[in-house]
Amino acid sequence: MSITSDSEPKARHSVGQSMKRKEDPRLIQGRGRFLDDIVLPNMLHLAIVHSPYAHARIVKIDKSAALAVPGVKAVLTGEDLTAAGLAWIPTFHGYDKQMVLAVGKVLYQYQEVAGVVATSREIANDAAELVVVEYEQLDPIVDPFVARRDGNILRDDRENKTNHIYHWEVGKRAEADAALASSEVKVKQRIYFQRCHPAPLEPCGAIADMNGASGRLTLYLTSQAPHAHRTVVSLVTGIPEDKIHVISPDIGGGFGNKVPVYAGYVVSAVGSVVLGVPVKWVETRTENLTTTGFARDYHMDVEIGASKAGKLTALKVTTVADHGAFDAAADPTKYPAGMFGVVTGSYDFPVAFTELDAYFTNKAPGGIAYRCSFRVTEASYAIERGMDLLAGELKMDPAELRSLNFLKKEQFPYQSPLGFEYDSGDYETTLRKALDRIGYTDLRREQAERRQRGELMGIGLSTFTEVVGAGPGRLFDIMGIKMFDSAEIRIHPTGSGIVRTGTRHQGQGHETTWAQIVAEELGLDPQNLRVEEGDTDTAPYGLGTYASRSTPVAGAALVKAAQRIRERARKVAAHLLEAAEDDIDWIDYKFQVKGVPGKTIGMKEIAFAAYTNPGPGNEPGLEATYYYDPPNMTFPHGAYVAVVDVDRATGATKVRRFVAIDDCGTVINPMIVEGQIHGGLTEGFAIAFMQEITFDENGNHLNPNFTDYLLPTSLETPAWETGNTVTPSPHHPIGAKGVGESPNVGSPAAFVNAVMDALAPLGIKHIDMPLTREKVWRAIRDSGA
C-alpha cells in the first residue's frame, strides 16, 4: 500500500484509534436535529391518502368533505400534479418513470393517491380519511412468474405492452452451459432472497419551504444523497439549481431506504409552492414499510459444477427479479442488476454466466441497495448457499471445499469471469482465523456426538467477497452524473478546521472518522476538526452515502485534499524555517528541514502563519478541495461462522455462537467498525430468521407495521464475536475498503448454512429465508424423520 507521508511515521497519530464518536454526546442526549425536530414559522402539514387496493382504476376522487374540515388548506391529487407537470417523475436511473400521486389507476396497495395539507398533522390525518376515492378493482399480479406470461399488462402507460422490464446478462453462456454439462458433479437449486425492508427507525420525511420573494426552494430531506436530489429536483421541475437548497439534517438510519425520491417529497414541495408557506411531511411506520424502497426479491436458480475432487468448473445463475409497479431499483445506470456479477464470490471459477429478467408486479417499487452495494447481498447469498449445497453433494467439509477453491492472494489483481478486477484479498488467512476462533474442529466433533443422540446442531460458513465503493466514472453514473465524491478542508488560523464532503452519514460515524483521516494527514487534533455534511449550499458536490462508498470514495478525496493542504503548508513552512521548499520534509506529523531534526514546525503554527505571515508570493489561507474519481472498486471480504441448535419439536433455532472476521483493509476507527459489524449482523440475523414482506393473492401487504415485520431485540440477538484481518486496497490512498455493509451481505448465508447443516442428517437440503419456526418444523416433519 502507499503510505502518504514522506516517510513512515513511528506510530499512527489518529487513524487506527478507537476514538469515541464525536456525534454521540449530541445524539445520545437528544440534542440532535432530525427532520421532525425542525419547525418553521407558519408551517403546514401534509398527510397522504393511500390506495386500499393493489390494482384498481380510479373512477372519481371527491375532495369536498376533506376541504370542508377547518384547518385544511389544500387537497392535491394526481390531476393537480398533471397540471404542474409533476404527476410522474423519472425513477432512480431514468429508465422508467413513476407516479407521484396516482393518475388513472393505482398499481399497488398503499400507493399515494392524494395529499391533504392542513394546519396540524392531526387535522391533515383526520381529513385524509374524508377524501372519498371511488375505485374499480382490477386483477392484481403478485407473482413475477405470472407477470412473465403477459396475460395481464400492468403498465398500460408504457409503449411496450409487456410486464417484462429488462434482460441483463454477463459472462459466457455457451461455455458455462458446456462446462456444467461435462462436470462430474453438479448442484442446482432455486434460491429465493425474499423481499425485505431496511426499516430505518426514523422514517422518511421532508419540509419544503418555497420563498415566493426570493424564488428559492429550501428542501429539508431525509436524504442519503442531498446533491443528487438537488439535481433531480432541478431537472424535474425546471427550477434552476442555484434556487434549490437541500438540507439533510441528522438522519436516524438510512440503509439505502433514503436514496430514492418519494411522493411525499414532491407533494410537500408542490404544497409549499401553491400555498407559499413551508409544508412538512413525515411518514408513519406503515407508510415507510408499505411504500418506500424495498430490497432484494430475487428468485435465483444457482447451478454449480465441480470435479469429484471438489474443484469448481462452472457457475450459472439465472434470476427472476420482482421490481414491483415501477422500475425504481437503485442501481447505477450501466448496471441494471447492480453488482450482481460478483456472484462468483471468493472462488476461482474458470467460467461463469449470469442472467436476469425483471418484471412488474402490483407491489410497491424499490429494489434499493439495503446496506448493500447494489445486489451484492443477493449475489453473496446465492454463491455461499451454493457452495454449501455443493459441499453436501460432494460429502466434503464446507471449509475444505472453500479453501480448495479460494482465489489465492498471489492471484490479485484478479480478473473475474463476470467482469470485475478484484483489488486484493487473502481469503485463506481470514477463514483460518475464523475457524480457529470458533474452535471448528472441536465443534465438528461435538456435532458428531450430538447427531448420535439425535440432536440437531449445525455449523455454517460464509466466506464472502464484496464489491463496494462505486465508483470509477468510466463505469458508474446515476442519471449521467459520475459517481465520484469530494472533500473540502478549511484550516482556521488557530489550527482547528472544518471538513466537508459530498457524502451524508446516517449513523456511520463520519463526524469522527473523517476528522481522524484529516488529522492523520495533517498532524492536527481530530477533536478540533469539525465535520459537516448534508447542506448543498456549503458541501462540495458528491453522490452521497450508500453502497459502502463513503470511505472508498469520499475518504480518498479527504486524503487527497489534506495532501493539497500539506503542499500549501510546505511553502509556508519553507518561509518560516528559512529553507528552500525542496528542503522541507514531512516527518512524524511535522515539517522539518532536511537533515536538521531540531528545525521543525507543526501544522498548527503553519496554520496561524498562513493567515498572518504566509511569506512572500504564498497564497494566504489554508484551504483545499479535491474531487476523487476512484480508479477501481474495493473488494472487502470476510469469513463468518455460525453455530446453531435446532429444536426438533418446534422448529425453533438458536444461534449459539457467531464469529465474524472481516477484512476491510486499513481500519480507521476499530470501535466504529465493530459497531458497524454488530449492526449489520443483527440485520442479517433478522433477514435470515424473521423478516419478509409478503402479500396475499389480492396484493394486500401483510407486514405493514412492526407487529408483523419483526425487528429483533437485544434479547434474541446473538452475542457477536468479531475480529479482523488487514489486506489493504492497493489503489485507495490509505488502503481502506469500506465496511458498513459486509455483515449484512455476508451473514444471511452463514445462518442459513448453519441451519441446513443441522438438518442435513434428515436429508433436508434447502429452506428459503426467513427460517421461521414453522418452515423448519414443516421441513423436519416432511422429512419423515
Between 705 and 783, whose beta carbon lies closer to other proteins?
705
Q: How far is CA 158 from CA 92, 110, 370, in A?
A: 17, 22, 28
Catalytic residue (choose from 98, 194, 224, 676): 224
From the CB of 726, what's the least distance to other proteins, in Å? Answer: 36
Could you give the CA distance from residue 292 to residue 273 in angstroms, rounded to a whole number?
24
CB of 707 to other proteins, least distance (A): 7
Of the residues 712, 723, 730, 761, which one makes contact with other proteins according to CB under 8 A: 712
List the one residue from 160, 452, 612, 713 that touches other proteins (CB under 8 A): 713
Rounded least distance, CB 88 to other proteins, Å: 29
How far lies 235's CA from each of 158, 231, 595, in Å?
21, 6, 57
Query: Cβ-count burial of 30 within 10 angstroms (0-12 exposed, 13-18 middle, 19+ buried)?
Result: exposed
- Catalytic status, residue 121: no
Among 7, 137, 307, 650, the residue binding other proteins under the rule CB under 8 A is 650
**Which residue is catalytic, options 155, 195, 230, 371?**
371
Phi, then psi, of 476 in degrees rounded to 5 = -115, 125
User: What is the spatial distance between Cα 777 and Cα 774, in angstroms, rounded to a whole number?
Assistant: 5
Which of the residues 204, 283, 287, 372 is marked catalytic?
372
Q: Does 91 bind other proteins (CB under 8 A)?
A: no
Taking CB under 8 A as the binding criterion, the range among 278-286, 375-383, 398-406, 570-578 that sits at the site for other proteins is: 278-286
Q: How far is the CB of 677 from other proteins (least distance, A)?
A: 21
CB of 689 to other proteins, least distance (A): 9
φ, ψ for residue 382 (rounded to 5)?
-60, -50
Q: Which of 42, 137, 307, 705 binds other proteins (CB under 8 A)?
A: 705
> By C-beta, is 47 or 246 nearer to other proteins?
47
Regarding 778 and contact with other proteins (CB under 8 A), the answer is: yes
Q: Does 708 bind other proteins (CB under 8 A)?
A: yes
Q: Is 702 in the site for other proteins (CB under 8 A)?
A: yes
Cα(524)–Cα(491) distance, integer angstroms: 10
**Residue 450 within binding range of other proteins, rule CB under 8 A:** no
Q: Is position 318 an interface residue for other proteins (rule: CB under 8 A)? A: no
Residue 635: closest CA among 443, 437, 464 = 464
Active site residue 98: no
Does residue number 213 form part of the binding site for other proteins (CB under 8 A)?
A: no
Determine the Cα–Cα distance for residues 684 and 746; give it in Å rounded to an integer. Answer: 8
What's the full length of the chain, in residues?
785
Does 7 sit near other proteins (CB under 8 A)? Answer: no
Q: Which residues contact 119 (CB under 8 A, 6 or more apart)?
A: 44, 45, 71, 73
Q: Does 70 bind other proteins (CB under 8 A)?
A: no
Q: How far, in Å, CA of 482 to CA of 476, rounded?
A: 6
**CB contact at 8 A, 122 and 284:** no
Find the angle CA(450)-CA(456)-CA(457) to the nearest 5 degrees.
Answer: 75
Stretch that binds other proteins, among 322-330, 395-403, 580-588, 710-718 (CB under 8 A): 710-718
- Least CB distance from residue 713 to other proteins, whole Å? 5
Cβ contacts of 392 within 8 Å, gap of 6 or more: 187, 756, 760, 765
DSSP SS3 for 177: helix
Three-state SS at 57: strand
**Interacting residue with other proteins among 95, 166, 192, 777 (CB under 8 A):** 777
Burial of 322 (0-12, 13-18, 19+ CB in 10 A): buried
Q: Residues 25-54: x/- map of binding to other proteins (CB under 8 A)?
A: ------------------------------
Give the residue from 140, 643, 667 showing the smallest Cα distance to 438: 643
Sheet with 56-62, side-by-side order of all strands: 105-106, 56-62, 132-137
User: Within 10 Å of residue 214's Cβ, how many Cβ atoms?
Assistant: 9
Q: How many whole angstroms separate alpha carbon 110 and alpha carbon 168?
A: 30
Q: Which stretch binds other proteins (CB under 8 A): 267-275, 356-364, 432-440, 774-782?
A: 774-782
Q: Which of 409, 579, 772, 785 binds other proteins (CB under 8 A)?
A: 772
Residue carrying C-alpha cell 464446507 = 398
Q: Count of residues binding other proteins (CB under 8 A)?
A: 28
Choosing from 236, 479, 652, 726, the residue that interacts with other proteins (CB under 8 A) is 652
- Is there a catalytic annotation at residue 303? no
- 618 forms part of the interface with other proteins (CB under 8 A): no
Query: Is residue 644 a contact partner of residue 458, using CB atoms and an 8 Å limit?
Result: yes
- Assess whether 372 carries a catalytic annotation: yes
Name which of 2 and 694 has its Cβ closer to other proteins: 694
CB closer to other proteins, 149 vs 781: 781
Residue that the C-alpha cell 475480529 belongs to? 723
Binding region for other proteins (CB under 8 A) out of 52-60, 282-290, 719-727, 753-761: 282-290
Name which of 327, 365, 329 is nearest 97 in CA terms. 327
In the complex, the residues that contact other proteins under the rule CB under 8 A are 121-122, 125-126, 284-286, 649-650, 652, 690, 694, 702-703, 705, 707-708, 710-713, 715-716, 772-774, 777-778
Q: Which amino acids are annotated catalytic?
A: 224, 371-372, 741
